């Protein structure tokens, strides 16, 4: 039997069976944004991984596989617009689950202002290359130009938005593979296995630990597909297939590009990679000239908008589910009567994105503001995944799954995440530490808030399968 609690009488709800596996894959690939990550997350990862950047991504791949195991296992039984929030409230309870979902919210949402600040830097760099000097305040215009289009697209029906994701994701993957091949060929005798030696990272294993955490965030995104649990045709089966396909594809793509970028830039010169205003564009110029650089710039900006769109789709639905459960104000559960999208939750999400982007940019500038956002997002990922993996171990009996997927892998994930915590918090540096402290503070306030509000004991429009059905 399925447990399916209907929406309130007279209220619009999300559209069941609205999208197929192809569209769900679009959400997974778009939320990762291969070219956006190559321009954004790779730069931040290289600041700590330096010449051992491929090692950091190889370790992050293990982390990502342990992370994806969690929604994969939970999706045996639960399909909900709440995504990770639904998993947490079922496994660790509504209060801790809500607090963990707040960390998860910031994991995704803070990527958007980070992307916007990087886009401003990329445009300033590209304009400078063309002999055009943009005014110092130009980033104030770029930020909404990167954030608002994604909001506008996510406002309308889900299917066209995800079709856009399918097309752009495919184009980005082909381009990144082609660029990687060119860089490796161009490197010639500089190709080396020394990129997997931790001594080439900042402070050795300490730098690898930080880089691994950021790289794991870069590899993240495929888990966003769980937010489509109520709208995907085929429900849990479609979600589980999409999780596996997108995560393994992204890992392979990023391992290839991390190696290509390191040998293409030069193993001993990687300190300059993270300090460069637009290293991806510089690498592209090296092997494809100014025309190739211009094409990549346009596609990177499009990729950033795509990531922001996927974030809105996932987090808007999570806020919707939180509101349905009584964890946050009920008005955030409003669904557009025609487009069947969570319009109020989407609006709240984009307001947070704009506020953080402007605060970070004004407070620390484009580069440090970006680092504050991306490290905060990493902290949100670590906290939410720690809680989720502990929850999976607690929930294993109700899943009826084997011990490897529900005990061994989650335990490994907790250990790897602990290593990432060490790297992200020690030694403490300013302003990077501001992000994790802010995220942890918000989680603490969310936990306190959860004790003050009365949440519904049963899941609203989510599908929670019985153990008998699983068997």
Tens of pLDDT, residues 21-61 = 999 999 998 998 889 888 878 888 898 899 999 999 999 99
Q: Which positions ≥6 away from 387 have C-beta within 8 Å? A: 88, 92, 96, 97, 99, 100, 103
Backbone angles phi, psi at 105, to 5 degrees: -60, -45
Packed helices 139-155 and 158-187: angle between N→C axes, nearest 10 degrees: 130
Q: What is the pLDDT of residue 12?
A: 62
Q: Which residues pair with 2 in a beta bridge?
A: 465
Query: What does the alpha-carbon distance between residue 428 and residue 241 come to, in Å, rounded to a whole number?
Result: 40
Which 3 state secondary structure label does DSSP give 60?
A: helix
According to DSSP, residue 461 is labeled S
Query: What does the alpha-carbon distance between residue 228 and residue 241 come to, in Å, rounded to a whole number?
Result: 13
The rounded Cα 29 to chain-centroid distance in angstroms is: 10
Instruction: Give the Å distances, CA to CA, from 231 to 83, 379, 409, 423.
Output: 12, 29, 29, 38
Q: What is the pLDDT of residue 76?
A: 92
Integer-rounded Cα Rg, in Å, for the chain is 21
Sheet of 78-79, strands arranged across: 2-3, 463-465, 78-79
In the structure, what pLDDT confidence band is assigned to residue 1 with cuts at 50, 70 and 90? very low
Q: pLDDT at residue 469 above 60? A: no
**What's the mean pLDDT in 93-98?**
95
Mean pLDDT of the chain, nearest integer: 88
Q: Which long-range contacts does 92-97 make (Cβ < 8 Å, 24+ apart)?
A: 92/387, 92/390, 92/391, 92/394, 94/325, 94/327, 94/450, 94/455, 94/457, 95/447, 95/450, 95/451, 95/455, 96/387, 96/447, 96/450, 97/387, 97/391
pLDDT tens digits for range 182-200: 999 999 999 999 999 999 9
pLDDT tens digits for range 64-81: 898 899 999 999 999 999
High-pLDDT (> 90) share of the chain, % = 60
pLDDT tens digits for range 101-118: 999 999 999 999 999 998
Is pTM beyond 0.85 here?
Answer: yes
Higher pLDDT, 455 or 332: 332
User: Could you give the angle at the alpha carbon of 297 between the alpha carbons of 126 and 262, nearest 5°?
Assistant: 95
Query: What does the alpha-carbon distance between residue 352 and residue 338 come to, in Å, rounded to a whole number?
Result: 25
Q: pLDDT at residue 427 above 70? A: no
Higher pLDDT, 448 or 419: 448
Packed helices 279-324 and 21-32: angle between N→C axes, nearest 10 degrees: 120
Q: What is the pLDDT of residue 20?
A: 92
* Residue 433, domain CATH: 1.20.1740.10
Domain encompassing residue 377: 2-470
Q: How many domains does the chain have?
A: 1
Query: What does the alpha-carbon distance between residue 165 and residue 137 come to, in Å, rounded to a whole number?
Result: 31
Query: What does the alpha-carbon distance between residue 230 and residue 79 come to, in Å, rounded to a whole number?
Result: 6
In the structure, what pLDDT confidence band is assigned to residue 371 with cuts at 50, 70 and 90? confident
The two tokens of residue 203 are 């402070």
Q: Which of 270-274, 351-355, 464-468 is predicted least confidently?
A: 464-468
Instruction: Give the Å distances, CA to CA, from 351 to 143, 313, 348.
Output: 12, 15, 5
| Residue the block writes with tokens 């302003």 | 431
Q: What is the pLDDT of residue 310?
A: 93
Which among 32, 68, 19, 25 has a CA at the least distance from the CA of 409? 68
In the structure, what pLDDT confidence band is assigned to residue 423 with cuts at 50, 70 and 90? low
Query: What does the alpha-carbon distance between residue 282 and residue 46 come to, in Å, rounded to a whole number?
Result: 15
Q: What is the pLDDT of residue 424?
A: 58
Q: What is the pLDDT of residue 384?
A: 93
Backbone angles phi, psi at 464, to 5 degrees: -120, 110
Distance, first Cα to last Cα, the chain: 12
Query: What does the alpha-carbon distance between residue 219 and residue 212 come to, in Å, rounded to a whole number?
Result: 10
In the structure, what pLDDT confidence band is assigned to residue 5 with cuts at 50, 70 and 90? very low
């Amino acid at each position: 039997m399925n447990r399916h609690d209907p929406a309130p009488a007279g209220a619009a709800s999300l559209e069941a069976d609205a999208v197929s596996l192809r569209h769900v894959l679009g959400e997974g690939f778009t939320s990762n944004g291969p070219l956006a990550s190559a321009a954004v997350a790779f730069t931040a990862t290289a600041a700590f991984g330096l010449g051992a950047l491929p090692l950091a991504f190889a370790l992050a791949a293990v982390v990502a596989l342990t992370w994806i195991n969690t929604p994969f296992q939970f999706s045996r039984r639960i399909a909900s617009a709440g995504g990770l929030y639904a998993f947490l409230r079922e496994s660790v309870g509504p209060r801790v689950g809500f607090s963990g979902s707040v960390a998860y919210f910031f994991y995704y949402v803070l990527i958007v202002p980070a992307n916007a600040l990087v886009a401003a830097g990329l445009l300033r760099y590209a304009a400078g290359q063309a002999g055009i000097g943009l005014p110092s305040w130009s980033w104030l215009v770029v930020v909404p130009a990167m954030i608002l289009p994604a909001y506008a697209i996510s406002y309308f029906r889900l299917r066209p938005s995800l079709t856009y994701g399918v097309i752009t994701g495919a184009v980005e993957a082909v381009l990144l593979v082609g660029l990687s091949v060119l860089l490796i060929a161009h490197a010639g005798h500089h190709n080396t296995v020394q990129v997997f030696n931790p001594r080439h990272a900042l402070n050795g294993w300490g730098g690898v630990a930080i880089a691994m955490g950021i790289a794991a965030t870069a590899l993240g995104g495929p888990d966003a597909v769980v937010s489509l649990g109520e709208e995907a045709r085929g429900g849990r089966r479609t979600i589980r297939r999409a999780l596996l396909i997108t995560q393994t594809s992204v890992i392979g793509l990023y391992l290839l590009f991390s190696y290509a970028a390191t040998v293409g830039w030069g193993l001993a010169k990687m300190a300059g990679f993270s300090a460069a205003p637009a290293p991806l564009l510089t690498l592209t110029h090296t092997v494809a000239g100014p025309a190739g650089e211009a094409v990549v710039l346009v596609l990177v900006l499009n990729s950033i908008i795509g990531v922001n769109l996927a974030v809105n789709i996932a987090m808007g639905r999570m806020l919707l589910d939180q509101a349905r459960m009584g964890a946050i104000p009920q008005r955030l559960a409003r669904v557009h009567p025609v487009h069947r999208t969570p319009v109020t939750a989407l609006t709240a999400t984009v307001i947070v994105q704009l506020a953080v982007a402007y605060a970070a940019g004004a407070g620390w500038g484009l580069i440090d503001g970006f680092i504050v956002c991306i490290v905060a997002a990493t902290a949100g990922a670590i906290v939410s995944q720690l809680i989720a993996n502990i929850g999976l171990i607690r929930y294993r009996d109700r899943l009826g799954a084997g011990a490897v997927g529900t005990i061994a892998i989650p335990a490994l994930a907790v250990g790897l995440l602990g290593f990432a915590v060490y790297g992200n918090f020690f030694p403490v540096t300013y302003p990077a530490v501001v992000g994790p402290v802010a995220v942890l503070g918000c989680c603490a306030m969310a936990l306190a808030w959860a004790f003050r509000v009365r949440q519904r004991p049963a899941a609203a429009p989510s599908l929670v399968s019985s153990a008998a059905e699983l068997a």
